[in-house]
Chain A
């Protein structure tokens, strides 16, 4: 158990819909990361927050948005969903502002299926 909690574990929704994925980081970790893993794209970095502020942005679509709240939990919002958004979405956390040499701890992921 990494200490990173993600909900829901599985989600099936229709195209055009909007979903929210939730993440609680490990106790004491201030950085939260979101990754998308799919068969054709591999593991893609989406976005990172540190103590409520956006720190780094990766291949995140404009239809996707995220935020980190004062209690440090984070949400990833996916809207106008398309079939290609079906993937495993990981939340991860680390102590400290920069990734640097810090270990990133991953949650078990949220499986999103768009039908």
Chain B
């Protein structure tokens, strides 16, 4: 079955520290991979996505993610956390020819001053 797993429902980092949010997917066909962010009382918005080409994808607000096929992973990173990064982050996947986007359970990022 196709699925998306986000390791860690909550991640806490200090301001200025590295942010690493983990995402693994299961797939027997090439995936399209996304990271969305949800700020309090708002809808989800796209951070970045991988469709084809370069496996290191850069997104908004200094975030980037790397598609690693051998590890079936698409981890999200940011070198230096900012207080404004506190939000919930969702990894999502769709598949070639598929109509459905599958979202992970989400990871809530806390940033400490």
Contact = CB atoms under 8 A, between A and B. Distances in A.
Interface of A: 2, 4, 33, 35, 42-43, 45, 48, 50, 55-56, 58, 90, 92, 97-101, 103-109
B94 A101 contact: yes
B98 A100 contact: yes
A77 B99 CA distance: 22
Contacts of A104: 34, 36, 44, 46, 92, 101
Contact of A99 (B41, B43, B98, B106): B98
B5 interface: no
Given A99-B98, A101-B51, A42 B42 contact: no
A108 B43 contact: yes
B98 to A, nearest CB: 6
Interface string B74-113: 0000000000000000101010111111110110000000
B46 A103 contact: yes
Contacts of B45: 2, 105-106
Contacts, number: 70
Contact of B90 (A43, A107, A109): A43
A50 B97 CA distance: 14
B100 A99 contact: yes
Given A100-B32, A100-B94, A101-B94, A106 B100 contact: no
Contacts of A4: 43
Given A2-B45, A106-B45, A108-B42, A99 B101 contact: yes
Nearest to B42: A108
A45 B102 contact: yes
3 smallest CB-CB distances across A and B, nearest first, come from A106-B43, A101-B51, A56-B99
A43 B108 CA distance: 13
B74 to A, nearest CB: 13
Contact of A45 (B32, B46, B100, B105): B100
B106 A43 contact: yes
Contacts of A48: 99-100
A43 B103 contact: yes
B49 A101 contact: yes
